[in-house]
Amino acid sequence: MTDGLQHRIEEWFGRGAEAVGEAEALRVFEEFRGALERGEARAAEPDVAEALGWRVNAWVKRGILLGFRLGRRVGSSLWIRRRFCRGGLERRMGCGWCRGGHR
């Protein structure tokens, strides 16, 4: 599933500022965000072949950066969700970190 998504993220990221305002770039990013939330795409994965035991998925980092370029929040760690979503300023302003679900 992520192979095709990876290719599309790499393509839109490579276009730089041309991606801004493109509906298809936003659709690809939303699909990417969903894959992150479902755990299908990860910035790093365990890999015993690597010296530190982890392999970095650079394309995922580029997908996150693409989200910032497109003007969308891409999510955060559980700590940030709890810190800012539970009764903080983000809740009053309409939380973008967890799509308003305040999990």
Res 6 pLDDT > 70: yes
Whether the Cβ atoms of residue 60 and residue 43 lie closer than 8 Å to each other: yes
Retrieve residue 2's tokens. 């992520």
- Summarize pLDDT for 61-99 with one digit per residue, the tens: 999 999 989 884 545 544 344 444 444 444 444 444 445
Rounded to whole angstroms, the Cα distance separating 55 from 42 reads 10
Tell me where in the chain the CATH 1.10.166.10 domain(s) lie: 2-72
Residue spans of alpha helices (H) in the chain: 2-14, 23-38, 58-70, 78-85, 89-93
Query: Residue length, the chain?
Result: 103
More confident site: 56 or 83: 56
- Summarize pLDDT for 10-36 with one digit per residue, the tens: 999 999 999 999 999 999 999 999 999
What is the CATH number assigned to the segment(s) 2-72?
1.10.166.10
pLDDT at 1: 55
What does the DSSP 8-state code read for residue 12?
A: H
